Amino acid sequence: MIASILPTYNRAPLTFVSGEGSWLTEADGRHFLDLGAGIAVNALGHAHPALVAALTDQAQALWHVSNLYNIPAQQKLADALVDQTFADTVFFTNSGTESCELAVKMARKYWYDKGQPDRTEIITFSGSFHGRSSAGISAAGSEKMTKGFGPLLPGFTHLEFGDHDALQSAVSDKIAAILVEPVQGEGGIRPLPDQCLKGLRDLCDQHGILLIFDEVQCGMGRTGKLFAHEWAGITPDIMMVAKGIGGGFPLGAVLATENAASSMTAGTHGSTYGGNPLACAVGAKVMEIVADDAFLAEVNRKAGHLRQKLEGLVAAHPDVFETVRGSGLMLGLKCKTTNTDVVAAGYAQNILTVPAADNVIRLLPALTITDAEIDEAIKRLDAAATTMTEADA
Ligand SMILES: *Cc1c(COP(=O)(O)O)cnc(C)c1O
């Protein structure tokens, strides 16, 4: 008999009942150190007092009115995003996959309105992840995500990650946009080097192509800048955001320049829940805390500390780990043993990590993790790796 919850997830036998900062309490009382942060969602950890206050204050005033009316919290968050980024305008969604939908629609409508209705093709890369809607899986294109779900949305050219020659020869006057994650998350924490991001910007400028960044996972302070592309000193035309921006409350956004957004006039797109008062009250508070130079400097300092410790961990367990990679507090340990076994060994030591493709385990701690918690995490990962080597011996 089918489970009452559609069985699309292989869940770990863990049930968390409360959380505080980087810690989660299991129903049986065990305390877990959380290096997954709800897959890069709980940017400020669990039950951050400022977010709890923002949510409960809004909950007492007003939950929902729809986008038929002005929403002050939405305006506040949009103004903050426009103020702190390349963007001139913002549309709010409830998830990353919805942000992907709008990014694709916006890029195609842009060219339609420019009198090039056949310019619909969007270039994407292997190992990418853009959500689970039909557009999202069509964009990523992997067999794992798309098999059996056809007919897929047409108009995506899938290129091999890092294949510069293929990219050069794919460019034509049919290309509407290039869509890329500055740091691939699900694909196994694969950063695109700054040089490549700059190269993509140049290529798009030469051919008038729109550049879309998917910063759903790598954005909102995760890499030590508010958005990951800032490290490369370039900007996109359109950017997808979600995960960390809501700090645990469902919220996403599409940011765009005035030019890229020029075709999205009244009636062309919408969302009942998108930019809901509760979500935006929390999102505005997340922005206030994260988009702060002192906060981001701390993220970078702690990221350096964690990375250095992880290099030591890899050196101490050469049979379990191969290398550390990533950016800021978006780090991956490429494993030699099966990554899901390493994650499970972590569960036994009361530490949470998240598997990714390419046999990687992801470390995506709350940006508020402390130095002492980082040291404790390394202790627990070391213990987990030790049990794996013993099991092999
Ligand atoms: C998680 C993720 C998405 C999809 O977000 P959902 O909120 O799960 O729809 C899209 N792109 C990237 C890079 C992601 O990490």
Residues at the binding site for pyridoxal 5'-phosphate are: 96-97, 129, 214-217, 272
Whether 333 is in a domain gets the answer yes
Distance 43 CA to ligand 1 centre (A): 15
Which of 125, 28, 7, 134 has the alpha carbon at shortest distance from 350?
28
Which of the four pLDDT bands, split at 50, 70 and 90, describes residue 328?
A: very high
Predicted TM-score (pTM) of the model is 0.98
Ligand 1 neighbourhood includes 350 CB (under 6 angstroms): no
Domain that holds residue 342: 16-34+293-392
Whether the predicted pLDDT of 392 surpasses 90:
no
CATH number at 322 reads: 3.90.1150.10
- Do 105 and 249 sit in the same domain of this protein? yes
Distance 85 CA to ligand 1 centre (A): 20
Atom of ligand 1 nearest to the CA of 214: 13
pLDDT tens per residue, range 114-154? 999 999 999 999 999 999 999 999 999 999 999 999 999 99
CB 317 within 8 A of CB 385: yes
Those residues whose C-beta lies under 8 Å from the C-beta of residue 248, and which sit 6 or more positions away, are: 38, 41, 42, 46, 51, 282
pLDDT top residue among 162 and 191: 191
Residues at the binding site are: 96-97, 129, 132, 214-217, 271-272
CA distance 348 to 328: 26
Distance 53 CA to ligand 1 centre (A): 27
Mutate to test the pocket of ligand 1, among 217, 273, 362 (most ligand atoms within 8 A of CB): 217
Provide the 10 A C-beta neighbour count for residue 147.
9
Nearest CA to ligand 1 atom 5: 96
pLDDT tens per residue, range 167-203? 999 999 999 999 999 999 999 999 999 999 999 999 9
Q: What is the number of structural domains in the chain?
A: 2
CATH number at 86 reads: 3.40.640.10
CB 274 within 8 A of CB 99: no
Distance 97 CA to ligand 1 centre (A): 6
